[in-house]
């Protein structure tokens, strides 16, 4: 009799964790068909004075490691459709 509430509690906890992981895994929600090429972001950043080290996909966004136009090392996340800056962190 005690086993059923424990099992239901455990299942509820697992569902909550799984839902949180799904939400956290995609910062940018853009369909693959709607994404611009990574090279286009690199060209845009370089024309803005950035020196791009690398760009990869992370959390659904384009994540760039670069020196910005002020010469600061940054890790920046961009929307892959609009190239809007989502968040950035200076090293």
pLDDT per position as a tens digit, 8-24: 454 454 444 444 444 44
> Per-residue pLDDT for 87 more than 90?
yes
> Per-residue pLDDT for 36 more than 80?
yes
Q: Which structure tokens are listed for 54?
A: 């690398």
Q: Are 42 and 55 in contact (CB under 8 A)?
A: yes
Confidence of residue 25 (pLDDT cuts 50, 70, 90): low
**Model pTM?**
0.71
> Per-residue pLDDT for 41 more than 80?
yes
* Separation of alpha carbons 65 and 90, rounded Å: 10
Q: Residue 70: which of 85, 47, 49 has the closest Cα?
A: 49
Confidence of residue 48 (pLDDT cuts 50, 70, 90): very high
3-state class (DSSP) for residue 22 = helix
What kind of fold does domain 27-90 have according to CATH?
Nuclear Transport Factor 2; Chain: A, (3.10.450)
């Amino acid at each position: 009799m005690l086993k059923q509430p424990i099992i239901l509690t455990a299942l509820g906890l697992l569902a909550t964790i799984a839902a949180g992981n799904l939400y956290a895994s995609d910062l940018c929600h853009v369909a693959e068909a709607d994404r611009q090429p990574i090279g286009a972001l690199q060209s845009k950043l370089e024309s803005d004075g950035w020196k791009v080290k690398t760009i990869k996909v992370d959390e659904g966004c384009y994540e760039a490691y670069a020196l910005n136009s002020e010469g600061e090392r940054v890790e920046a996340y961009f929307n892959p459709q609009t190239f809007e800056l989502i968040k950035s962190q200076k090293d």
